[in-house]
């Protein structure tokens, strides 16, 4: 028998946006159980951070946008896709302050999980010579993941081959090594519950991204 979620939406949000630096397993479980209700709030959290990145400058204890990204990826929420593309288009120093190692560790998986098969924005990131090199690499890793998951899709296979052979992306291709470490799995294979199970009781952004 499915257990009813014990936390209401306002309490879930209070916990995941708190600055205690502590992982909130009960809030995560309740968010997953209340997917339809919590999704607009998660989109709001992520969009607010992308629109106002400066407000988190130096605030390493705020993890709300990480919860939002992992949960939205687990939900396969395509409405998160354009917001994440905007996030990925921020200047490199801003991205590093907001997300740290998340960019190299998990952004590719998250993009793959929410893109809904629409690869154009990912390809544009890869081919944008002005974009941060780690963002381009993460975007390329998302295509690697999608190429494996949809290996029967000739369109995705052709696109991946085309991107890799494009002279514009030559500088990015050597970083495919870390993309292969993803084991071509998307977020459900490394859900927020599994991702966080190994974390210590207290954490900050860098802990969350490195775990």
Rounded distance between C-alpha atoms, residue 154 and residue 169, angstroms: 21
CB 86 within 8 A of CB 119: no
pLDDT, averaged across the chain: 74
Give the confidence band of 30 by pLDDT, cuts at 50, 70, 90: very high
Tokens of 43: 């989109």
Is the pTM above the cut of 0.85? no
**Distance separating alpha carbons of residues 124 and 28, to the nearest angstrom:** 33
Is residue 23 very low, low, confident or very high in pLDDT (cuts 50, 70, 90)?
confident
Domain-wise residue ranges, the chain: 9-210
**Tens of pLDDT, residues 82-125:** 999 999 999 988 888 888 889 988 999 999 999 998 999 998 99
Measure the CA–CA gap between 120 and 84, rounded to whole angstroms.
Answer: 14
């Amino acid at each position: 028998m499915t257990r009813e979620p014990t936390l209401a939406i306002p309490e879930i949000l209070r916990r995941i946006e708190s600055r205690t630096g502590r992982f909130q397993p009960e809030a995560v479980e309740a968010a997953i159980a209340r997917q339809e209700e919590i999704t607009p709030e998660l989109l709001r959290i992520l969009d607010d951070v992308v629109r106002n990145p400066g407000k988190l400058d130096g605030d390493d204890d705020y993890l709300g946008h990480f919860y939002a990204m992992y949960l939205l990826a687990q939900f396969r929420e395509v409405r998160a896709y354009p917001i994440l593309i905007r996030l990925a288009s921020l200047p490199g120093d801003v991205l590093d302050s907001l997300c740290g190692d998340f960019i190299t560790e998990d952004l590719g998986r998250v993009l793959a999980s929410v893109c809904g098969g629409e690869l154009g924005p990912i390809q544009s990131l890869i081919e944008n010579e002005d974009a941060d090199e780690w963002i381009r690499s993460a975007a390329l890793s998302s295509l690697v993941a999608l190429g494996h998951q949809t290996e029967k899709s000739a369109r995705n296979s052709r696109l991946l081959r085309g991107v890799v052979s494009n002279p514009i992306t030559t500088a990015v291709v050597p970083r495919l090594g870390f993309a292969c470490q993803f084991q071509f799995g998307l977020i459900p294979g490394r859900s927020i519950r599994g991702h966080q199970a190994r974390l210590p009781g207290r954490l900050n952004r860098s802990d969350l991204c490195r775990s």
